Structure 1
Amino acid sequence: MLRVALTGPESTGKTTLSRHLAEHYHTTWAPEYARKYLEERGPHYTLDDLEAIAHGQLATEEVAAAGASRILFCDTDLLVIKVWAEHAFGHCPEWIKDEIQQRHYDLVLLLNVDLPWEADPLREHPHLRHHFFAVYQQELRQLHAHFAEVSGTPEQRLEQACRLVDELLKV
């Protein structure tokens, strides 16, 4: 089974694109566990919360993988947890960094910040999106990840992502 992760700064359409890709390819997707976790507990979090979110994200991904057909789309990945941990707390737990190194995605879609910011009680940094986009680019390059940047309107993003996934499915 192929795995495609969607990553990037807040309010870039990861959830919408994940859902649409899963519908298009008639498969499952793993929603962002952090949203569920923080909706239940409130928007303030600790490093321990980020670790719990990381465990929850991995479990959510595995549940979705069990029902996937040929390909699984993951609305976020542990790289997001790493970036937030380092930003908010100055470091990331080693086990998360190790898991990022070991976890394989056949493709990572890095969503650009060219969509308008949508306010949400769980979103924190509307003015740091360009900064975080650059951080994700750097992290993905350091990981030697197979990644592509996706930008434009939601429709253009879906079209770009489908082209990339179709190429992946040909291999």
Structure 2
Amino acid sequence: MEEKYRQESSTIIKVVLFGPESTGKTTLSQQLARYYNTVWVPEYAREYLQDKWNNERKTCEPQDLLPIAEGQMRLENELTKKATKILICDTDLLETKVYSEAYYVGACDPILEKYALQNTYDLYLLTYIDIPWEADDLRDKPTEREEMFTYFKDALEKYGKNFIILKGNKKERLEKAINHIDLLLHK
């Protein structure tokens, strides 16, 4: 039953956009996919939680995290088969784990934690909080951006993930990301 949270094996290079809300992850995911002529994996939680908000006027609750994780991995596994030599992921299960612990006082479902740590990626692009925060139905921490950034950075360090921090405008972030991804592609 837990297989639905597992990453299917692949030789594709996988890059994850990682960081707090409203830090340009989706924009950069789309730019990188276009640049590398490949596909990108959208953040399943956005669709899932927007539907929940539209239908129930409720935000994320702990019982939503496993369905979100399942949907995210289903999308990633499907799109891995369509990718060229690289797959750009707008998020991963480690991001869901970080949010779970930040929102629910250190709590994380053991299944989510297991696969958040077991699934692997070649590079994490940690997006900094130096771009303006944009409100929407789901974003709720405009005054806690530094704290959230620290949660994300600490998680990458704690679990020994290969990551870089992206700061600056869209062009600067894109160029830095491309430089680091190209190093992976030429190994």
TM-score between the two structures when normalised by the length of structure 2: 0.89
Where does structure 1 lack aligned partners over 5 or more consecutive residues? none
For the residues of structure 2 that align with 1:73 and 1:114, how far apart are their CA atoms? 22
Question: Quick one: which of 16, 27, 50 aligns to 1:39?
Answer: 50
2:83 to 68, 82, 88: 68
The alignment yields a C-alpha RMSD, in angstroms, of: 0.9
Structure 2 counterpart of 1:6: 17
Q: Is the 8 A contact 2:126 2:165 kept in 1?
A: yes
- 88-97 or 3-12: bigger deviation: 88-97
Gaps of 5+ in 2: 1-11
Give the total of aligned pairs: 171
- 4+ residue segments displaced more than 4 Å: none
Inter-partner Cα distance in structure 2 for 1:143 and 1:108 = 12
1:126 partner SS: coil
Aligned counterpart in structure 1 of residue 110 of structure 2, from 94, 110, 125 = 94
C-alpha deviation, 1:50, in angstroms: 1.5
Counting aligned pairs with the same residue, the percent is: 42
Q: Does 1:84 align with 2:99?
A: yes
- TM-fit CA distance, 1:64: 1.2
Residue 165 of structure 2 aligns to a residue whose secondary structure is strand
Cα distance between partner residues in 1 of 2:178 and 2:102: 32
1:55 counterpart letter in structure 2: E
Residue in 2 that maps onto 1:115: 131
Note if contact 2:131-2:168 (Cα within 8 Å) is conserved in structure 1.
yes
Q: What amino acid is the match of 1:133?
A: F
Deviates more, 1:145-154 or 1:42-51: 42-51
Q: Which of 155, 160, 184 in structure 2 is aligned with 1:144?
A: 160
Shift of 1:48: 1.0
Give the secondary-structure state (helix, strand or coil) at the position aligned to 1:127: coil
Within 2, Cα distance between the matches of 1:136 and 1:16? 19
1:27 Cα deviation from its structure 2 partner:
0.4
- Of residues 26, 32, 37, the one that matches 1:21 is 32
Match in the other structure for 1:153: 169
Question: Is this contact kept in 1: 2:93–2:112, CA < 8 A?
Answer: yes
CA contact (8 A) 2:102 2:151 kept: no
SS of the aligned residue for 2:22 comes to: coil
- Shift in Å, 1:165: 0.6
Structure 1 position 87, deviation (Å):
1.9
CA deviation after TM superposition for structure 1 residue 104, in Å: 0.8
Q: How far is 1:160 from its partner?
A: 0.8
